[in-house]
C-alpha cells in the first residue's frame, strides 16, 4: 500500500506539494509514482528561476525501465532544485517525501494549493486506479 502523508496536497498526476512556513512550496513525486517507476537512475530537474504554469512538464525522472515527465502541480517560479538527485536519484525511491524532493517553488498564487487534492481524495484516486 502506498504511503500518502496527510499533511501534503496532491496532483492527479502523482506529484505532492508541501506548504512551507515562508509561503514557498516543496514538490516531489508520490510513493505510488516512485513504486510504479521502479529504481530511479537519472533525474533532470528544472533550473532555478524558471517560471512554470500548472501542468507544465518541469522534470524528468528515469528509471531503469522508462523516462517519465513530472508535471508542476501549480504555477510559480522555481527557487531551487534538489541538487543531491544528480548523484543519488535513488533518494526518490528511498524517501520520496523527504530527501527525494524535486524542487522548491514560489507559487504565483498563494491560494493555488486549495485546488489540489487532500490526502484522502488522493487515496481514493489511487484506490480507483487499482494502486
Partner 1 sequence: MGRRTPLHDLHVALGARMVDFGGWDMPVHYGSQIEEHHQVRRAAGVFDVSHMCVVDLRGAGVRPFLSRLLANDVGRISLPGKALYSCLLNEAGGVLDDLIAYRMTESWFRLVVNAGTRDKDLAWMRDRAAAWGSDLAITERSELAMLAVQGPRAREIVAGLLEPADAVEALALEPFFGRECGAWFVARTGYTGEDGFEIVLPAAEAEPAWRALNAAGVASCGLGARDTLRLEAGMNLYGNDMDESRNPLESGLAWTVAFEPADRDFVGRAALEAIRAGGVPQKLVGLLLEERGVLRSHQKVVVAGIGEGETTSGTFSPTLERSIAFARVPRATGDRVQVDIRGRLLSARVLKLPFVRRGRVLVDL
Closer residue to partner 1 (CB): 64 or 120 = 64
Start-to-end CA span in the chain (Å)? 7
Nearest to 86 by CA among 51, 124, 115, 44: 44
Closer residue to partner 1 (CB): 41 or 120 = 41
CB of 17 to partner 1, least distance (A): 25
Closer residue to partner 1 (CB): 90 or 121 = 90
CB of 105 to partner 1, least distance (A): 22
Binding interface with partner 1 (CB under 8 A): 35, 38-39, 41-42, 44, 60, 62, 64-67, 86, 93
CB of 9 to partner 1, least distance (A): 27
Within 8 A by CB and 6+ apart from 11, the residues are 17, 71, 73, 116, 117
Amino acid at each position: 500500500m502506498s504511503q500518502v502523508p496527510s499533511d501534503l496536497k496532491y496532483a492527479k498526476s502523482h506529484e505532492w506539494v508541501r506548504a512551507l512556513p515562508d509561503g514557498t512550496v516543496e514538490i516531489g513525486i508520490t510513493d505510488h509514482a516512485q513504486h510504479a517507476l521502479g529504481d530511479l537512475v537519472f533525474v533532470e530537474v528544472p533550473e532555478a528561476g524558471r517560471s512554470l504554469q500548472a501542468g507544465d512538464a518541469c522534470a524528468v525522472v528515469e528509471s531503469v525501465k522508462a523516462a517519465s515527465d513530472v508535471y508542476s502541480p501549480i504555477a510559480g517560479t522555481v527557487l531551487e532544485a534538489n541538487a543531491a538527485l544528480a548523484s543519488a536519484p535513488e533518494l526518490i525511491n528511498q524517501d520520496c517525501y523527504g530527501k527525494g524532493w524535486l524542487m522548491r517553488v514560489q507559487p504565483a498564487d498563494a491560494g493555488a494549493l486549495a485546488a489540489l487534492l487532500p490526502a484522502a481524495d488522493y487515496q481514493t484516486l489511487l484506490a480507483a486506479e487499482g494502486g
